[in-house]
Amino acid sequence: MQDRNKIEAGCIPCSRDHLTTAVALLNEAARMAKNRPVSDPEIQDRISRAEQEIDAMERVDLAPDKLANLPAGMREVTRDMLNNLRSKVRHQLEATGVRWGTGTVEDVENVAHNIQEINKEFREKITPLYIDEIKKTRRLGHPRTDEERKARHMLLHGTDTLPPRGTGLMQTSETTSETNWGLILLGVGIVVFILYLIARQRYE
């Protein structure tokens, strides 16, 4: 069984957080570039901060040793995401001159679009794999720590603001109870209907 610490070592939720922030910054830069030159200090600031988010993800959360510890499926998806970032975002920022303030608004928009698509594809592919691995290593009788809960909540809902413990179980219990009562009432209705048909046949 995969070691839980190894699954968490790559910090997939943290990586998604960095990537989502970079997407937001480049989208904002593209929006601003419609009315200002790409060399505008505020636009360059957002482009620089987006690159810093990507750097932090690559060098800390997805450093080679941490990436190597991920399960094979998650490692492959993550490597594809990193390769796409290098070719479709980093390279384009350099090749078009956007990084140096000499690109066009179309160049900024293209980079913003690329990273948005990369983020979407990564989220759609990595989320089910991550959840499957967490389920495999669930420690029965040992509740998740707050850090584990925050990481999982960030991955699933995009925020680390946690609801009170047990909220999910309570909601599940309420849903299950409602379902059970519905089945009971349905069963009673069927029995009553059958008895009605039997009684009707006797009196005909």
Model confidence pLDDT, tens digit, residues 23-66: 999 999 999 999 999 999 999 999 999 999 999 999 988 988 88
Phi then psi for residue 172, to 5 deg, are -65, -40
Helix (H, G, I), strand (E, B), or coil: what is residue 69?
coil
Q: What percent of the chain has pLDDT over 70?
A: 75
* pLDDT greater than 90 at residue 171: no
If you average pLDDT over residues 169-181, what whole number do you get? 58
Residue at token pair 């990369």: 118
pLDDT at 161: 73
Q: Is the dihedral of CA 138, 142, 143, 144 positive or negative?
A: negative
pLDDT digits (tens, 9 = 90+) for 181-191: 777 888 888 88
Q: Are the CB atoms for 77 and 118 separated by under 8 Å?
A: no
pLDDT at 9: 42
Q: In angstroms, rounded to a whole number, what is the distance separating the alpha carbons of residues 68 and 139? A: 23
pLDDT at 140: 54
Provide the terminal-to-terminal Cα distance of the chain, rounded to the nearest Å: 67
Q: Are the CB atoms for 129 and 73 separated by under 8 Å?
A: yes
pTM here is 0.65
> Where in the chain are the domains?
4-157, 167-204
Task: Work out the mean pLDDT of the chain and round it to a whole number.
Answer: 82
Q: In angstroms, rounded to a whole number, what is the distance separating the alpha carbons of residues 160 and 151? A: 7
